[in-house]
Structure 1
Amino acid sequence: MSNDWFAKEIATALSDGVTRLENRPFLLVPEQSNRRAVILIHGFSSSPRELRELGEILYQRGFTVYGPRLPGHGTSPEDLATRPLQEWRATVLRGFDAFAAAGFKVSAAGLSTGALLALDLALQRPLEKILLLSPFLRLQHWLAPYVGLLRFFVRYQNKEIPAAEQPFYYRQRPLQGIMQIGRLLRHLKPRLPLITAPALVLAASGDTTIAPGTAQQLFNRLGSKEKAIHLYGDEVPHVLTGPDNPCRQDVLTRCGDFLANSPAPGST
């Protein structure tokens, strides 16, 4: 498999001004490949680092793993404010097409907005499996539906980020970018029954970012015959792979087992 495509992704990240290694795209290629690939798609205002540990676990199990950097991430909120949804979609598609051309079976996993992009990919390409971490149909903030108008008056939404995580998450989230999420949701909602890849959904009642029950609603609409959902409690936050999740190891284990093994139908 030629990695020229990945070299171009790295070059783009450097050209865009990504300075930290953790915020650049990553590609993990095992010596003994199982000929299966996984694309790990990070969330809005985050970076590939968000899913890197999961990538390392899959790599140890023989998967070739790609963590794309969505344009506008790992740089600045000002950069993110200029990036349209089409750029995020194109980045994910390039990864899939590179793996498919090399004969790999490809799965996709995403966290939050990354989960929505994984669903979007499933509508465009044949995925072996799809893993959705904290997916949603609606954000919890009551002003989210009005972001298209609000962006003309308020450019950014401020978010509290722990000091240790600030190099990897934006404290200011551009409303212009949140509007792109709204566009993606409007595209996905009526098409969820068309998605048939085996799916696992992980979410939590302690998630204060997305509307309560929205992950379950998304799960119910999926057209997959083989699908499962696991809901964590109030102690678990939105970023399921983050250091503040007390159930983080359970999340990583469930993800690895699902992608490596046959999915179990029904809820858990």
Structure 2
Amino acid sequence: MLLLHGLSSSPLELRFLARFLHNEGFTTCAPVLDGYSAGMPEQQMERWLDAAVAEYDALASRYARVSICGLSIGSTLALALARRRPTAQALVLLSITLAYDGWSMPWYRFLLDWAYFTPLRKHWRYREAAPFGLRNEALRAKIARAMQRSDFSEVGPSTISLPALHEASRLVRWVRPQLGEIRNDCLIIHAIDDETSSPRNALLVADEIDTSFLRTIWLDDSYHMITSDNEREVVARETAAFLRESEMASTGDHTKTPVVSKALARRLRQLSALSKERA
């Protein structure tokens, strides 16, 4: 399993999931990617994809089946990688981000692509703020202290540069028209209260990809960083179970029905009704 962390971050975001999968008998690889990961000179998104392809090919040379998991923009990168390497066994998309449209995103987010072509490009950085992708208040306080002491924490960087955000937007624009070409088995896990990328991101991918084996799981006690937040064990268990099922499900017709509790179903209906009222 190739694990792709979020934008300008590190494999620490996926540490719990990687350990769980390892204990379940899976081989995991959570690499640092040239031009994408924290501490690397910034590169264009094509270099991100080339680095991910190289990591995938290294695993594919050793194992008969290789699956891809991504978190946040890492999920978008996972989709791009699946287009380059359609033989991937399965995709696991965690907090998929095709748009920064969550409830905590600043009103000026839509201006950032424009700002990239101004002198702000070299100086302005988006600064992370509470809730830092975390519903868990104790962990949120810990991360807040860590970000005061340094530029980095276990759930990502304290700031993200304008060029990195611009390249993420370019990656999204490259991936979206190709969603209908994705045919890999796919697990989507998303929090309904994701403050960074709203549930619309997950719904769009689920509607447009062309796979016969799709499972969508909605979480109701997490925010964006679902590999670290309150339901990280749910994420890990469901990922391991899906990977096993994918290996066995080489043929057959599978439902696209989301896995969702009655309480979540009511919440989603309320969100849908509210969206229609605002339209």
TM-score by length of structure 1 reads 0.77
2:91 maps to which of 130, 147, 166? 130
Q: Which residue of 1 aligns with 2:270?
A: none
Q: Is the CA contact 2:10–2:38 (under 8 Å) kept in the aligned structure 1?
A: yes
Q: Deviations over 1:111-134 (max 9, x none)?
A: 011101111111011110100000
Residue 255 of structure 2 is matched in structure 1 by 265
- Aligned counterparts of 2:194 and 2:213: Cα–Cα separation in 1: 25
Deviations 1:117-167 (A, max 9, x none): 111111011110100000032112443343222132262111125224634
Q: Distance in 1 between matches of 2:223 and 2:235?
A: 12
> Which residue matches 1:88?
48
Paired residue for 1:45?
8
Displacement of 1:101 in angstroms is: 2.1
Does residue 239 of structure 1 match 2:225?
yes
Contact 2:196/2:224, CA 8 A, preserved across alignment: yes
Moved more, 247-256 or 204-213: 204-213
C-alpha separation in 2, matches of 1:51 and 1:179: 24
Identity over aligned pairs, percent:
27
- Structure 1 residue runs of 4+, over 6 Å off? none
Residues 212, 258 of structure 1: alpha-carbon distance in 2 compared, 3 angstrom cutoff: closer
**Does the 8 Å CA contact 2:21/2:236 hold for their aligned counterparts?**
no
Unaligned runs of 5+ in 2: 133-142, 260-279
Deviation at 1:104, TM superposition (A): 2.6
CA contact (8 A) 1:54 1:256 kept: no
User: Is the CA contact (8 Å cut-off) linking 2:146 and 2:153 kept in structure 1?
Assistant: yes
2:3–2:14 CA contact under 8 A, matched in 1: yes
Structure 2 counterpart of 1:222: 209
- Work out the CA distance in 2 between the residues paired with 1:104 and 1:60: 20
Q: Which amino acid aligns with 1:265?
A: T
Bigger Cα displacement from structure 2, 247-256 vs 64-73:
64-73
Q: Of 124, 128, 137, which residue of structure 2 is paired with 1:155?
A: 124
How far does residue 103 in structure 1 lie from its aligned partner after superposition?
4.2
Q: Aligned partner of 1:74: which letter?
A: A
Q: Pick from 91, 113, 136 the counterpart of residue 73 of structure 2.
A: 113
1:87 positional shift? 2.1
| Number of equivalences | 224
Give the RMSD, CA atoms, in angstroms. Answer: 1.9
Q: Which amino acid in structure 2 is aligned with residue 193 of structure 1?
A: G
Q: Deviations over 1:33-61 (max 9, x none)?
A: xxxxx100000132011112211222223
- How far the C-alpha of 1:259 sits from its partner, in A, is 1.2
CA deviation profile, 1:159-197 (whole Å, cap 9, x unmatched): 125224634421111111011111111111110010000
Letter in structure 2 aligned against 1:121: L
Q: Compare relative contact order (CA 8 Å, sep 6+) and give the higher one, 1 or 2.
A: 2
Q: Match for residue 233 of structure 2?
A: 249
CA distance in 2, matches of 1:103, 1:257: 19
Mean alpha-carbon deviation: is it higher for 175-184 or for 245-254?
245-254
Structure-2 residue corresponding to 1:3: none
Distance 2:76 2:49 in 1: 10
Tell me how far apart the structure 2 counterparts of residues 146 and 193 of structure 1 sit (CA, whole Å): 29
Tell me the distance in 2 between the aligned counterparts of 1:86 and 1:175. 17
**Cα shift at 1:248:** 1.7
AA paired with 1:131?
V
Cα pair distance change 1:246/1:102, threshold 3 Å: closer
| 8 Å contact kept, 1:41–1:110 | yes
* Structure 1 position 90, deviation (Å): 1.5
Distance 1:49 1:237 in 2: 17
- Could you say which structure has the higher helix fraction? 2
> Do the aligned partners of 2:6 and 2:70 also contact (CA within 8 Å) in 1?
yes
The residue identity in structure 2 corresponding to 1:253 is R
SS at structure 1 position matched to 2:225? coil
